Amino acid sequence: MRILGLVLLFSGCVEFLEDDCDQYVDYLCTCGVDSCDDLRQAFDGSDPAVQEQCRIELVCFESVDANNEETCSIVGTPEEDECLSD
């Protein structure tokens, strides 16, 4: 029973350690934005509300990419605003 408890505790910690804003910034930096260091600094230690916004925007970008069958398909285009305004 203790092992199961430790596994569940560890699983919860791993999920907690995932940083949606880190993933969001990684995506943008992969797409060639100029201000990676500034973005990393701006989102470092973000509160849960900002983390949620990062997650929502990343999901939007990745969804558009999947539909376009192309990575970074809307970063730097007018369509990018559609993801940012949601």
What's the pLDDT tens digit per position in 52-73? 999 999 999 999 999 999 999 8
Q: Which two tokens stand for residue 73?
A: 């398909």
* Residue closest to 86 by CA, chosen among 55, 49, 56: 56
Listed residue (3, 2, 49, 46) closest to 21, CA to CA? 46
User: What percent of the chain shows pLDDT beyond 90?
Assistant: 56
Q: Residue 2 has what pLDDT?
A: 53
Which of these, 17, 15, 43, lies nearest to 29 by C-alpha position?
43
Work out how many domains the chain is built from and give that number. 1
What is the reported pTM? 0.73
13 is a domain residue: no
Residue 11 within a domain: no
Q: Which domain range does residue 38 map to? A: 19-85
* Contact status, residue 54 vs residue 20, Cβ threshold 8 Å: yes
14-59 pLDDT per residue, tens: 444 569 999 999 999 999 888 899 999 999 999 999 999 999 999 9
